[in-house]
A = this chain, B = another copy of it.
Amino acid sequence: MPHNSLYRTFETELRVRPDDIDMFQHVHNSKYLDYVLAARYDQMEHCYGMSMETFMEQGYGWVVKAVEINFKRALTLGEYFTVRTAIETINERGCRVIFSIISKLTEKISADGWFDFVMIDIKTNKGIRIPESIMDHYLI
């Protein structure tokens, strides 16, 4: 997590569910994306004060445009972990959110990377420019 981000870093604590475990007794690789998403939704609500539900009621959605993820140390059954995220950049075309997933037990990074999000109009499912008011909202 770069310490020089202009934007604040937020944390959400989650726990591995049994259905997240794969044949190698580890959390299945694609579930880490779901963890980041769960953390981000939680943070929209509790940290930014605008939940995904509120967004959707206003006709907006955030969808994922691209992801890079590095798997470092696999999480295992029942583990508690923290998902740290911060906006790295945001402009009218989208925002990049950097993340790291940290095991509570070992305090080591399990996975890190970034998500690029774009806003959509949920009626048309087409991408839209992020309104100034929304961008301001994330400048915390």
CB under 8 Å from chain B, chain A span 44-78: 45, 51-53, 56, 61, 63-71, 74, 77-78
We find that the number of chain A residues with CB closer than 8 angstroms to chain B is 41
A125-B26 CB under 8 A given contacts A53-B78, A77-B53: yes
State the CA gap A109–B53 with chains docked (Å): 22
B77 touches A24 (CB 8 A): no
A17 contact set on B, CB distance < 8 A: 34, 37-38
Write out the residue numbers on chain B whose beta carbons fall within 8 Å of the beta carbon of A18.
Answer: 22-23, 34, 37-38, 41, 52
Interface assignment of A122: CB less than 8 Å from any CB of chain B: yes
The answer to the question of A33 belonging to the interface, with a C-beta cut-off of 8 Å to chain B, is: yes
Is there a chain B Cβ closer than 8 Å to A91's Cβ?
no
On whether the beta carbons of A24 and B63 are closer than 8 Å, the reply is yes
Considering only CB atoms, which chain B residue lies closest to A41 in the complex? B18
Tell me if A71 and B65 are in contact (CB < 8 A): yes
Residues of A at the B interface (CB closer than 8 Å) are 17-19, 21-26, 28-31, 33-34, 37-38, 41-42, 45, 51-53, 56, 61, 63-71, 74, 77-78, 113, 120, 122, 125
